[in-house]
Structure 1
Amino acid sequence: MKKILLLHFSLFFLIANCQKKKQVMNIISTNNSENIEIKKDTMPDLDIASIKKLLDEEYNLIDANNAPPSPENTIKWINSEIYKSLLKNGYKSPSQQDFEAKIQTIFGVDTNGKLLCNRLKKEKGYILLYGEDPKKNYIYKEIPRAEFYPYQATGNIFLMMDNHFMSFIISPVRIVNFSKDSTHYKVKLPQYVISRNKYLFNDDKSQFAWLINNDEDFMQSLVTTFGYTEDKKLLKWAFEKQGFSNYQKYPPDNIMENYGKFLWTKQCNGEINLHPNTLYLIKELSEPSINKDKYLLNLAEYINYLVNNEKETELNLQQKAKIAAYLLAFGEQYKYNKEYGYNQMFLGKFIFYQDPDKKYKKEFEKNNYYNLPNLKKWYQQAEQEKDMFENDQTLADDPQPKDYVYRATYYKGPYSK
């Protein structure tokens, strides 16, 4: 156990030192600072003796055996300092209603429902979003209160439900600086604490540039982990960062898995939340004058990846069918658009090569084609066609999306617009 603690704290200090060089630090609190308006669950500034005692306790944890990551009074002090810092830096605490609406939109947390996910934990005064699934991460199994390790080691986010802000566990050792004569101290917090809160809960768009340049992983995780696609500027930045415009035939699974993170999110109750904003973005990026084929080719490749029985094991047939239906309905429109003329790239390929035993078709029918406009009509039309690659001796295997592009012509069907 002691070895685990030492290894964990060594990792924390290594990461913390690297981040210190990258992130701008703000002086936001001193032991003799002016009075500010605060709400409940905050602590007064500590005197010199108290802050030294707190730091001594934190240092002792490094060599302690079976000790908690941080004492409760330290956690309370950290949260209090973060909140007071936010107020000093212009943060406006949202109302309860606005805060709950924000965390539901951004993080998918419904405070009025049951929190059933492994990665969610509701406690008095806060909701914990685990950075990693505690059932999969060894640290949560072996060390008591391991969720209170510093943020750099866990990625845990604390949604503070009383004062309405987002908090993180930051070791006091990292943020307290004493004057030369040790009679005064200053508290410095990483800029990301201020910028994240103001950007997400105050709609302060001036924080965007700093965050995407200095807090890239967190900003991408808002989209790929939590499914936050309502911020169109953030979505476009995160999507274009992945290099999806660089199409390759037979793309690696990790690229396709990453592509899927922009298309859907699995909710706590197992429901699939699809992201139409991503499809709107793909449509925008696929205009003929910009980048006609590559994003749509990757979409077709993802459908191929999705319905492969050996892949996407996180999803069952019903969930896969719903995702596939939405993506097919979106992609099939390009068959009837004379700027593209993709012929059988989407539904044709799906019918002839991806659903040979018709199990997906049965799901579509059972769910009335998910009430998607045109999907049933387009599906029936595609069924009546002949496979354009039937008896084709030029292909080494089943036709791939790029093969359909080579034969693309505008297809005037009975349901074209």
Structure 2
Amino acid sequence: MKYRILISLLFISSVLVSCQDKKTDNPNNTSVVKESLAGSEFNQDVNAMLKKQLEYGKPSFDNPYKYSEKDIEVTIPILNQLLLDNGYKAVSNEEFSAKIKQIFNRIIDQKSTSKFLYVNFIDKCDKTLNYVPNNAENNGMFVVKNQNFITDLYLLPTIIDYQKIYAETALEENITPKNYKDASGNEVKKYFWKDISNLKEQRKKNIQTLIARNLYLFNDNKAQYKWLTLNDSYFMESLVKTFGYTQDADLLKWVIERTKFDKKDPSDYGKLFWVKDCNEGIRIHANTFKELQKLYAPNDSSQNRFILDNIKGYLEYLESSESPESKILTETEKVKIMANLAYFAEQYKYNQSYKDGTKMMGRLRFFLGDSSRDILQKNNYFNLPKFKEWWDNADYDEYFVEECEYNGTCGPDNQPMNITEWRKKHPKK
């Protein structure tokens, strides 16, 4: 009896403290404490799920936790209230659906009975609901329909101060066995949430991430942008590189300036320029080329001076039939990407301020065989205004690039013909 009274006093005291803390701007505090006092059906569901999660302890390889839809369902009212308490302005179903389509290229079917969409950051075409928190082999998030926000899957101890709000349940953690035997009879050690030294910091980071992502994407709150680029860089880069979201000029510029062509990971650079959608072909990122045009300036001493060198490296990589891109792109798609890259770079050949010698259109001519050239013509050079003119003008550059860079026949004693000599033998048609 004394034990029950003590627990009750501790619980009431902790709730009062939580309610007092709620008056602060600390995002760790939530009005869910009101639900705790009300003893609602919602609170019972949370309490029951919390008991289950505390009993299992922090999941590990040896101690896997069997997640289900219920694990995320019980968190939705908590997360929604956290957002509202921290300035999130709920958007309409129509506006939210349009944003999800624009950013993640996913369609919300309002007629579907499913409460969530799962956006997979590793395989964006895999739409299977995945009830496992993010780890080294899994990375994704949930789109919460009708509530109109996005979230990772968070276990309750990682978003609420359960030791204050659910003090009685938290005390049971102290008497839970620290070990158990698995199906094979092996003794497995549990790691309790109460023993995680940085749980408070984890909780704060989770809540800040939830708030910042939703305010930034759906409330157009630019104040969250800096925090996200500093603390949630994988997510921010994925918006551009995985899903092809290039409408935010500041975000696009940030991604461009931290992405260089690297022979160890050449595919990464191409993610700035195109994305292959699920069953919808490719999208060329016109906004990337517009941003590069702003960044590339004559006599620039910054890393931006290597933009054309990076494009050259990627163009050469993409040309190879051994590249992974050659296995997922049709020949027409591949030619379209290469044509856009060469077209962007070729403009600087005609601007004397840049003294450009990359001969990018000549390289493209060298790379493309007869079938690829036919694709160019049949597609009207992909409607790039000066492409045909620049293509025809680059016949000498094709000769020069082939002789000096790819055949390796140029040297002190073997110089290629200059354009005047070469043109005499190859007059324009």
Q: Same fold (TM over 0.5)?
A: yes
Counterpart of 1:40? none
Letter in 1 for 2:53: E
The secondary structure found in structure 2 opposite 1:277 is helix
Which has the larger helix fraction? 2
Counterpart of 2:97? 100
Q: Which has the higher contact order (CA 8 A, sep 6+)?
A: 1
Matches within 5 A, 1:227-306: 227-242=244-259, 244=260, 251-254=262-265, 256-291=266-301, 293-306=305-318
Please give the alpha-carbon distance, in whole angstroms, between the structure 1 residues aligned to 2:250 and 2:107: 25
Q: Does 1:124 align with 2:109?
A: no
Please give the alpha-carbon distance, in whole angstroms, between the structure 2 residues aligned to 1:362 and 1:44: 67
Letter in 2 for 1:284: K
Shift of 1:135: 9.3
* Identity level (%): 30
The secondary structure found in structure 2 opposite 1:179 is helix
The secondary structure found in structure 1 opposite 2:30 is strand
Shift of 1:369: 0.9
Does the 8 Å contact 2:102/2:245 carry over to 1? yes
Counterpart of 1:87? 84
Please give the alpha-carbon distance, in whole angstroms, between the structure 2 residues aligned to 1:318 and 1:147: 35
Counterpart of 2:145? 161
Question: Is 267-276 or 60-69 further displaced after alignment?
Answer: 60-69
Q: Does 1:318 align with 2:332?
A: yes
1:295–1:54: structure 2 CA closer, same or farther, 3 Å change rule? same
Q: Does 1:150 align with 2:161?
A: no
Question: Is 302-311 or 341-350 further displaced after alignment?
Answer: 341-350
Counterpart of 2:350? 336
1:46–1:278: structure 2 CA closer, same or farther, 3 Å change rule? same
Does the 8 Å contact 1:223/1:238 carry over to 2? yes
Does the 8 Å contact 1:30/1:45 carry over to 2? no
Please give the alpha-carbon distance, in whole angstroms, between the structure 1 residues aligned to 2:320 and 2:373: 15
Matches within 5 A, 1:42-121: 46=43, 51-60=46-55, 62=59, 69-111=66-108
Shift of 1:232: 0.8
Shift of 1:66: 12
Please give the alpha-carbon distance, in whole angstroms, between the structure 1 residues aligned to 2:60 and 2:238: 33
Counterpart of 2:362? 348
Counterpart of 1:16? none
Q: Deviations over 1:304-355 (max 9, x none)?
A: 111111112322211101111111221111111111243561111221x312
Does the 8 Å contact 2:69/2:131 carry over to 1? no
The structure 2 residue matched to 1:359, chosen from 361, 368, 371, is 371
Letter in 2 for 1:124: S
Shift of 1:33: 3.5
Does the 8 Å contact 1:28/1:88 carry over to 2? no
Does the 8 Å contact 2:97/2:107 carry over to 1? yes
Please give the alpha-carbon distance, in whole angstroms, between the structure 2 residues aligned to 1:304 and 1:128: 36
Does the 8 Å contact 1:25/1:190 carry over to 2? no
Letter in 2 for 1:179: K
The secondary structure found in structure 1 opposite 2:283 is strand
Question: Is 202-211 or 309-318 further displaced after alignment?
Answer: 309-318
1:51–1:80: structure 2 CA closer, same or farther, 3 Å change rule? closer
Counterpart of 1:383? 395
Q: Deviations over 1:112-143 (max 9, x none)?
A: 79xxxxxxxx862322112333999xxx9xxx
Please give the alpha-carbon distance, in whole angstroms, between the structure 1 residues aligned to 2:401 and 2:33: 78
1:181–1:94: structure 2 CA closer, same or farther, 3 Å change rule? closer
Matches within 5 A, 1:388-403: 388=400, 392=404, 397=408
Please give the alpha-carbon distance, in whole angstroms, between the structure 1 residues aligned to 2:345 and 2:243: 25
Question: Is 210-219 or 172-181 further displaced after alignment?
Answer: 172-181
Does the 8 Å contact 1:69/1:146 carry over to 2? no
The secondary structure found in structure 1 opposite 2:27 is strand
The secondary structure found in structure 2 opposite 1:327 is helix
Does the 8 Å contact 1:31/1:184 carry over to 2? no
The secondary structure found in structure 2 opposite 1:159 is strand
Q: TM-score, normalised by structure 2?
A: 0.70
Please give the alpha-carbon distance, in whole angstroms, between the structure 2 residues aligned to 1:363 and 1:201: 41
Shift of 1:360: 1.8
Please give the alpha-carbon distance, in whole angstroms, between the structure 2 residues aligned to 1:272 and 1:210: 31
Please give the alpha-carbon distance, in whole angstroms, between the structure 1 residues aligned to 2:329 and 2:54: 45
Gaps of 5+ in 1: 1-23, 36-42, 114-121, 400-406, 408-417
Please give the alpha-carbon distance, in whole angstroms, between the structure 2 residues aligned to 1:211 and 1:234: 10
Please give the alpha-carbon distance, in whole angstroms, between the structure 1 residues aligned to 2:235 and 2:165: 36
Shift of 1:75: 2.0
Q: Deviations over 1:37-92 (max 9, x none)?
A: xxxxxx97516xx5443222224555999997324433211122111111111111
1:228–1:44: structure 2 CA closer, same or farther, 3 Å change rule? farther
Does the 8 Å contact 2:117/2:129 carry over to 1? no
Shift of 1:28: 3.5
Please give the alpha-carbon distance, in whole angstroms, between the structure 1 residues aligned to 2:85 and 2:78: 11
Shift of 1:282: 1.6
Please give the alpha-carbon distance, in whole angstroms, between the structure 1 residues aligned to 2:102 and 2:84: 23
The secondary structure found in structure 2 opposite 1:342 is coil
Radius of gyration: which is bigger?
Answer: 2
Shift of 1:382: 2.1
1:71–1:59: structure 2 CA closer, same or farther, 3 Å change rule? farther
Letter in 2 for 1:297: D
1:74–1:25: structure 2 CA closer, same or farther, 3 Å change rule? farther
Counterpart of 2:159? 175
Q: Deviations over 1:354-410 (max 9, x none)?
A: 12x322211101111111101112212223667235655x987489xxxxxxx9xxx
Please give the alpha-carbon distance, in whole angstroms, between the structure 2 residues aligned to 1:262 and 1:276: 10
Letter in 1 for 2:159: I
